[in-house]
Amino acid sequence: MAERQALPTAVASGPARGWLPGLGGAALWTLAQHAAFFACAWGVSWWAGAQRFGAFGQGLALAAMLPAAVTLRLEYAGQLERRPRRAQSLFGLAETGALTCSVLLVALLSLASLREDVPAWLWAASLAVLPQAGMLVLASREARSGSTVLAAALRGAPAIVMAAVLALAWLLRLDEAIEWSIPLSAWLCWLPACAWLNARCAGAPRKARAARARLVAAKHWPFVRAELPAFMLNTSANHGQVLLIGLLAGDAMAGTAALALRIAMLPTSVFGLAMADRLRARVVAVGRGAMLLPMMRQSIRRMAGLSLATHAVAALGALALLPWVFPAQGPALVTVVLWLLPLGMVRFVASPLAFLLPWRGWLGLSLLGQCLLFACALLSVLAGFPLAGLDGVATVYAVSASFVYLGYVYAALKAVRDDT
């Protein structure tokens, strides 16, 4: 019993204590991660041209999508599991799933290469899946224990190291290393991170022995069955909208849409994971008691205030900087970003709350929300583009998806209220 109570005592030291400093440190690591990605994209495009940048970009996209899928989202379940033994077992299952899927992926590519050439970026991205997934599992372990800043650092480290690897390759004129910087940076981060975390925990009290994996997997199978399709729908919505715009209007429009979405959602990308990690740790620590609802209301008020401030700064920055930084896209980019910023403001608050539905066991409602967001992303193109081009798409998407995200906030509060 003392072991089960250690986490709540460490994490739930009070709703207000250390909220902003921890969040700020994690946000700085996430901002550094995004800055490294932008620097890599700009550097490769300037160094090797648009075609080589396209291959590099596809490798990055694949290396970002697959790692969270091959763990079957079990590291997410482990973050929400209150009992240490079961959480340990879930993290172990996530690592086993990542290893198995990575080996199968490389084997399939090896078979395919017997019949036709496999692009270098596809090989590189596939070899990066295992270490990237391993970093996600390590980050989830740290986030569960309340180490939000360290979790953000683990997630952002591969991108930061990749920027250094590409800079070194440019100095040595090794342009063939561009795609291979993706797996190289991932392995250079994962192996030392494992060694360092194991050494750090060597003198700590012995962790709880993992529960039997088969029993834990059976208990959490409904969670995986609902959460994994929801994650895939979310990923498909993010990329499917841009692909559909490209199909209807060409690459230039798709590029503008993708850039506008990335810029408008940047505040959520920077703060969202850190807020979700901190909120999950505190919810697991507090448990389903009378303190949960006041703590959630206070967190929502704080997130709403932070969202308003960051998106006001983003709007001013879009008006002042985008025409100068991205002159090729012209005023169309600024207009689309301004239309999407209100959606980003709502998503900033709703996104960290999405875990409450699976945690409460409302898996069907969670999956329904992802289905609605997927429909909003694709139907906004079909409905808005014939009317007003990208402005129409942004308007329809912002309005429709905002209602879905507000529904997430309402459902999250209802889930907490039902528990208390």
pLDDT confidence bin for 132, thresholds 50/70/90? very high
CA atoms within 13 A on the CB side of 57: 17
Candidates 257, 218, 221; CA nearest to 239 is: 257
Check pLDDT > 50 for residue 314.
Answer: yes
Question: 416: closest CA among 289, 270, 249?
Answer: 289
Task: Identify the weakest region by mean pLDDT among 89-98, 269-278, 299-308.
Answer: 269-278
Per-residue pLDDT, 7: 38
Compute the distance between CA of residue 383 and CA of residue 377 in angstroms, rounded to an integer.
10
The more confidently predicted of residues 38 and 51 is 38
Average pLDDT, the chain: 78
Q: What is the pLDDT of residues 372-417, one digit of tens each?
A: 888 888 888 888 888 877 888 888 888 988 898 898 888 888 877 7
pTM: 0.65
CA-based nearest residue to 281, from 359, 347, 208: 359
Per-residue pLDDT, 157: 92
Looking at the predicted structure, is the pLDDT value of residue 366 above 80? no
Q: Measured on CA atoms in the order 183, 76, 138, 15, is the torsion positive or negative?
A: positive
- Residue 295 · residue 14 · CB < 8 Å: no
- Give the tokens for residue 170: 């440019």
- Residues 409 and 356 sit within 8 Å (Cβ to Cβ): no
Nearest alpha carbon to residue 283 among 419, 140, 85: 419
Q: What is each CA distance from 401 to 214, 232, 398, 404, 407, in whole angstroms?
A: 39, 17, 6, 5, 10
What is the pLDDT, as a whole number, of residue 137? 92
pLDDT tens digit string along 167-216? 999 998 888 888 899 999 999 999 999 888 877 765 544 454 555 666 67
Alpha carbons 182 and 381: distance in angstroms, whole number: 32
Residue type, 406: L
Tell me what the mean pLDDT of segment 343-370 comes to.
80
Query: Which residue carries 């069955």 as its tokens?
Result: 225
